[in-house]
Structure 1
């Protein structure tokens, strides 16, 4: 019996369907008469409708219904992007608000802690304590005073030298890309070699090395350097670059007399400088006891005042409160000056003449210069300039002399006058035998040694 479907094809004559292959989803299916896969049958369409994977989703269906063209799709995507951007901005605002809130809470907490500290200070009576600052606790004040005390341990000149040495060391390390703090043996030796290019004296280089060590000690940083290698570098540089220190030429009494001849002692400035010259020569004084570097840096505890010079007839007693070897004022150095009758080099006469031309209160500086209607203390630059100008006018090479020439000349003259070395050391306030380096021996002094040796030999031969 033959059956026919809606299309009138007899189904009995069709090959049987392979339902298992269709169920596995393979490419195998039923083949039509021509051997091709039959895709247009009602049964195949029914199977596609029954398969949920092949059935279109509701969103796709609605999109097909609502969006009939590409313009609708573009507007929908733009709306979605705008919504995403708005959400992102809201999140950023929320995050910023939370950060601001946290900061405000921390600031409020800090203000609360400060109020508690102020309350504690009030309870302890800090503001009523005269030994404390009103802006800090007793411990803060104590630490501040300690810092000032430790800073005062170094003289002003030493502090300036240390700052110069530290600056040079840090610039060297920065230029060569080396680690400055903490230093090591290699870096310090390289620094020594670098300084030898511009410094002739190994002693000056040694001072810079000492400055680097002080930097570590003051900063509480270990100074782990092998001293043997550092000393080898310094010694080698001294051998390769021999250096003869240049000392200022000594001023002698004959040079002072030549200076006296070209001065006009009726001029108050000349009278002040002349008295200063004689004080420096006879008392073997350092320039720091006589003058300051500037007018503003004049220190009444260091430089001489009018009241530090006591007059008693033909005698002057000069009291030194401070010196290089007496920086803490633990003793007073009293040095007398006696008159030299009928001599232009009389210090007593020069002091009285200066005071007559330049009267000043006892608390004023000892050596003054008139500037308009005021009196100003003599400064080191003016002393150096006037001295060299006077020496040049007197016929000397002024470049060979400095203010230190008075100290060296006075010590050499005293030794030539057979003053014992101990008294010279006492007069010049030397703490050691360093005064011997200031003595200048002439050829006549050395010939005197030869004569003493010759006379002793002759005496022994006659016996």
Structure 2
């Protein structure tokens, strides 16, 4: 048994020696060929840097062994390109252009991404901040503030030529208030002017001049001397019925009769301001057709009307207000739901303003007031004490006569109050 074991060990030693000699011979033969081919490959890549190269393989002399040199080639190319870039950049001047506004950056998973330059990003942030500040005010408030600023600038140009508008001097502001008093402006108008000037002063980083003691005392005296009672009279239910009947003789068409009847009755029953159902400017938001939804009985007669308001005083940041008005079958001549039903029948279902003329143009505040003035004159009422706001005043007086408390009446006219939703059916009291 020991002898065969020693024989096998001798055979193993012989085999190892043969294999070692064979591998040495193969390496000696292959290495020079591999080095030569890799060198030629690199020279070709350097002479044609824009040519895409696929995987490269090198076969041995006897054709049985293949060695992939793709990784080696790409590593050498990366090294060569890095060296080339470092050598070129210092010799080129740094320039800024529109095409250089983004900086490419290599991502390990998504390739190249673009990053905005700090200057452009800062400009975008400034534009966004200006956009946010502009939207802090409603369009109406912004326009009022601009008119107030223009009035103050005109005052400075006349009495203090060459004086800058901001910062505002207390002496100049006192004289500006006095000038408004001489012109006969209302105290509320002057208060709006002061609010606008305070806004612009603080936006520019200056001290609010309206908080000065002298300014407060001046405006206090202004209000005491110019205070006056509201002379506008309410449109009562009896006057409302007369106005509706007058439309048959004071309008030029059946369409306009249905139109203004629906507007008169809706303004009264819903405690609406005229600006909430008319257009004041070309860019103002008007009440759309979708704001009205009519619910009918099985016999197709109107049952209830749902009104949704999105544009009302102090509406910015407030949710839309939705409430219902039921049909009054006992007095159909003054029923807002029946009047709206008749108007929508002649108007049609085409999208657009709820209240509009035949040419689809919205009813403006001027048109509404003119028609109201014609009807009041026809009935013999004084147009100086009956205005568009008289519908709202009359609705409040009528609700109070029906036992509605003053607090509830105030909530009716305060759309911004969430508590209004609890009293949405107060206008449903019978006339």
User: Into which bin does the TM-score normalised by the smaller protein fall?
Assistant: 0.5 to 0.7
Asked whether the 8 Å contact 1:308–1:320 carries over to 2, the reply is no
Give the Å deviation of 1:273: 0.7
Provide the residue aligned with 1:169 in structure 2. 152
Distance 2:405 2:226 in 1: 33
Distance 2:335 2:178 in 1: 52
Give the Å deviation of 1:244: 0.8
TM-score (norm 2): 0.64
Give the Å deviation of 1:224: 5.5
Provide the residue aligned with 1:297 in structure 2. 283
Distance 1:160 1:245 in 2: 27
Decide whether aligned partners of structure 1 residues 403 and 202 sit closer, same or farther in structure 2, where only a CA change above 3 A counts. closer
Decide whether aligned partners of structure 1 residues 123 and 189 sit closer, same or farther in structure 2, where only a CA change above 3 A counts. same
Give the Å deviation of 1:260: 2.4
Asked whether the 8 Å contact 2:289–2:352 carries over to 1, the reply is yes
CA deviation profile, 1:365-401 (whole Å, cap 9, x unmatched): 2222213xxx322221111111111111122122322
Would you say 1:311 and 2:298 are equivalent positions?
Answer: no
Q: 1:255 aligned to 239, 251, 259, which one?
A: 239
Provide the residue aligned with 1:400 in structure 2. 385
Would you say 1:243 and 2:227 are equivalent positions?
Answer: yes
Asked whether the 8 Å contact 1:367–1:377 carries over to 2, the reply is yes
After TM superposition, the structure 1 = structure 2 runs for residues 118-133 of structure 1, keeping only pairs within 5 Å, are 118-123=99-104
Give the Å deviation of 1:232: 1.6
Give the Å deviation of 1:412: 0.9
Bigger-Rg structure (1/2): 1
Cα RMSD of the aligned pairs, angstroms, is 3.1
Instruction: Give the 3-state SS of the residue equivalent to 1:376 in structure 2.
Output: coil
Structure 2 unaligned blocks of 5 or more: 1-92, 107-111, 298-302, 421-431
Provide the residue aligned with 2:96 in structure 1. 114
Asked whether the 8 Å contact 1:268–1:354 carries over to 2, the reply is yes
Decide whether aligned partners of structure 1 residues 306 and 118 sit closer, same or farther in structure 2, where only a CA change above 3 A counts. closer
Would you say 1:368 and 2:356 are equivalent positions?
Answer: yes
Q: 2:365 aligned to 380, 405, 417, which one?
A: 380
Distance 1:166 1:399 in 2: 30
Distance 1:317 1:431 in 2: 18
The answer to which of 229-238 and 410-419 deviates more is 229-238
Distance 2:382 2:222 in 1: 33
After TM superposition, the structure 1 = structure 2 runs for residues 38-437 of structure 1, keeping only pairs within 5 Å, are 113-115=95-97, 118-123=99-104, 137-177=120-160, 178-223=163-208, 227-239=212-224, 241-264=225-248, 267-294=254-281, 296-299=282-285, 303-313=287-297, 314-361=303-350, 363-371=351-359, 375-429=360-414
Distance 2:353 2:164 in 1: 49
CA deviation profile, 1:20-43 (whole Å, cap 9, x unmatched): xxxxxxxxxxxxxxxxxxxxxxxx
Distance 2:114 2:340 in 1: 47
Asked whether the 8 Å contact 1:322–1:328 carries over to 2, the reply is no
Provide the residue aligned with 2:64 in structure 1. none
Decide whether aligned partners of structure 1 residues 206 and 351 sit closer, same or farther in structure 2, where only a CA change above 3 A counts. closer
Decide whether aligned partners of structure 1 residues 226 and 161 sit closer, same or farther in structure 2, where only a CA change above 3 A counts. closer
Give the Å deviation of 1:415: 0.6
Decide whether aligned partners of structure 1 residues 427 and 226 sit closer, same or farther in structure 2, where only a CA change above 3 A counts. closer
Distance 1:186 1:429 in 2: 38
**Matched pairs, number:** 310
Give the Å deviation of 1:420: 2.6
CA deviation profile, 1:106-136 (whole Å, cap 9, x unmatched): xxxxx96432x642425379xx99999x9x9
Instruction: Give the 3-state SS of the residue equivalent to 2:123 in structure 1.
Output: helix
Give the Å deviation of 1:346: 1.1
Asked whether the 8 Å contact 1:199–1:205 carries over to 2, the reply is no
Asked whether the 8 Å contact 2:327–2:338 carries over to 1, the reply is no
Give the Å deviation of 1:146: 2.3
Asked whether the 8 Å contact 2:241–2:334 carries over to 1, the reply is yes
Asked whether the 8 Å contact 1:340–1:346 carries over to 2, the reply is yes
Asked whether the 8 Å contact 1:340–1:347 carries over to 2, the reply is no
CA deviation profile, 1:333-374 (whole Å, cap 9, x unmatched): 32433324243101121111111111123x432222213xxx
Structure ranking higher on relative contact order (CA contacts 8 Å, 6+ apart)? 2
Distance 1:227 1:274 in 2: 51
Asked whether the 8 Å contact 2:294–2:306 carries over to 1, the reply is yes
Distance 1:131 1:257 in 2: 69
